[in-house]
Structures are given as C-alpha cells and as structure tokens.
Amino acid sequence: MAHYVMCRPTYFAVDYAINPWMDPATPVDAGLAVAQWTALYGTYRALGHTVDLVDPLPGLPDMVFAANGATVVDGIVLGVQFRHPERAPEAPAYLSWFADAGFDTHEAKYVNEGEGDLLLAGRYLLAGTGFRTEHAAHARAQEVFGRPVITLQLVDPRYYHLDTALCVLGDTSDESGPGGFAGRPRPVVAYLPEAFSPGSRAVLRRLFPDAVVASPADAAVLGLNAVSDGRRVVLPAEARGLADQLASRGYEPIPVHLSELRKAGGGPKCCTLEVRR
Ligand code: ARG
C-alpha cells in the first residue's frame, strides 16, 4: 500500500496566473474544490492507502498541490524551491513537516518543484526541466538520492511540470527487455510525446519502448496527472481514452472529478505527494 501526503484546499483560489491554465477572471467554486479534493482523499483511503495531511496556510492558494512540496525516496526528503514568489512560502512549510515527522531532510539549492518534476521510475529518477525545475536541481537530486537522474526537456507551456505530461504506472514483470533495466523489472509509463523535445522523445522511446502513448485530448484534461499504485490508476474522469488504454493493459482506472483544481493547472497527482520509506 502507498503512503501519501495531501493538503486540504481550505484557501484554494485562482488569484494569480503562473501557468496557462490559470485565469483569475474565471470563477472558481471553492466549496466544490473542497468536495472534489475530499472525494480524492476518500478514494485513496478506500484503496487502503495511508494519507497524512499537512496543514494549509492562509494566503497560499496553491498549497493544495502537495506534489510540489518535496521529493521523498528511500526515506530521504529533498525540499523544494519554487520558480514563482507566490508559492515560495510553501517550501519551508512542507520541509518542516517532514523534519518534524523525523525524516532525513535536505534543502533545495536550485529551483526544484518536487514531484511536479521529479518522478521515480524503477531505479531511475525522471527529471523535467524547461519551465519550472532547473537543470542544476537534477544534479542535486542525483547527489542527494544516489540514483541516476534522466533529464527530460519539456516544450509545451501547458505541460509545465513533468507530472502533467508523464505518469509512472508501475513495473512490468518482464525482466529481459531493453532500456537499461536488464535483470530488473522495467517501469511502465504513459506520456504525451508532443510535450517533450525531439531528443527527450527519443530517450523516452529507448527507455520505455512499451509505454502507453497518450492522446493530446487526454493530456488536455490533465489525464496524465494520474496516481498509480502499480495496479489501480486514479485519473481525471474526462480522460476516457486513456482510461480505456490503461484497462487494456490490465490496470484498473479509477476516475475522479477535479474540475475546480484544474482551473489552477492541477489534477490528482498534483494533489498527492508520495512518501517512499
Ligand atoms: N497552480 C500551480 C502552479 O502552477 C499548479 C501546480 C500543479 N502541480 C503539479 N504537480 N503539476 O504551480
């Protein structure tokens, strides 16, 4: 079972715009945002996962996006440093939560938006850059975690974080294949090729020859901002094509409604920080 950290959207709003999804002129139903988030929380609990809650802070409307609060691998916590000043105070709030919980914490030294841009795939960390997390932060993550980091270049501003363009689904049981994972089960991912530079697309094809290739329509409802426990994949309900693709690969798609949080550019994964002991 998985262990997640979430943050209730008590102070959620869209009153600044730091990505193309955000328009402060579009009304947000704050009550519905809380109800949708509460249903996501309940979904994880019903699946048997552990969910810890970080207290939301007034004046930080994006703090609900817990994935941006840290990266946690092997019980090691790498803190974050936000690109935009609007979100800066979230970084120490998340880091001190982990320090208080007894984790081995490390401060960010470069712009690094946590699991928004750093995703564990088998033994490797996939690391996005181009809009938020700086390339220098990838080297820092490699040093802190002692895991090989693979840099991926994002090119479409709508897919400003890696977790909006790529989802790690789980591991295959096939230990033989290509991709540098010989002798170990290979991770399986779903992604939108158009969100990546030509070189990064080639890297993804080499590493993940059996990836689920998502459609632009499914990505455009943040379908790739999904949370997999290796078997069950929690994803936006509107991503029907992706849900069918996942089901045909033997995953169980679990649709959730997050229309209000999507107005800030976030989906289920953005609301969910995975704690790996
Ligand atoms: N409004 C937030 C921002 O632009 C959304 C963050 C979404 N988080 C994520 N992990 N993709 O920073």
On the question of pLDDT at 274 being above 50, the answer is yes
**What is the pLDDT, as a whole number, of residue 173?**
57
Question: If pLDDT is split at 50, 70 and 90, which confidence band does 171 have?
Answer: confident
Count how many domains the chain has: 1
Give me the CATH number covering residue 25: 3.75.10.10
Contact 271, 229 (CB under 8 A): no
Residue 158, SS3?
helix
Domain extent at residue 145: 3-274
Q: The sheet that has 252-256: what strands, in order across it?
A: 227-228, 232-236, 252-256
pLDDT of residue 186: 80
pLDDT digits (tens, 9 = 90+) for 208-244: 999 999 999 999 999 999 999 999 999 999 999 999 9
Q: Does the pLDDT of residue 5 top 90, yes or no?
A: yes
Average pLDDT over residues 158-174: 90
Q: For residue 56, what are the CA distances in angstroms to 10, 177, 222, 239, 258?
A: 7, 44, 24, 29, 18
Dist. CA 208–CA 178, nearest whole Å: 8
User: pLDDT for 26-37, tens place per residue?
Assistant: 999 999 999 999
Q: Is the predicted pLDDT of residue 172 greater than 90, yes or no?
A: no
- Please give the distance, rounded to the nearest whole angstrom, from the Cα atom of residue 27 to the centre of ligand 1: 18
Q: Is 7 in the pocket of ligand 1 (CB under 6 A)?
A: no
Q: Is the pLDDT of residue 44 over 60?
A: yes
Q: Which of 66, 9, 21 is nearest to 263 (CA)?
A: 21
Average pLDDT, the chain: 95
Q: What is the DSSP letter of 10?
A: T
Q: Give yes or no for residue 264 CB within 6 A of ligand 1.
A: yes
Residue 61 in contact with residue 34, Cβ under 8 Å?
no
- 271 carries an active-site annotation: no
Ligand 1 in reach of 71 Cβ (< 6 A): no
Please tell me the pTM assigned to this model.
0.95
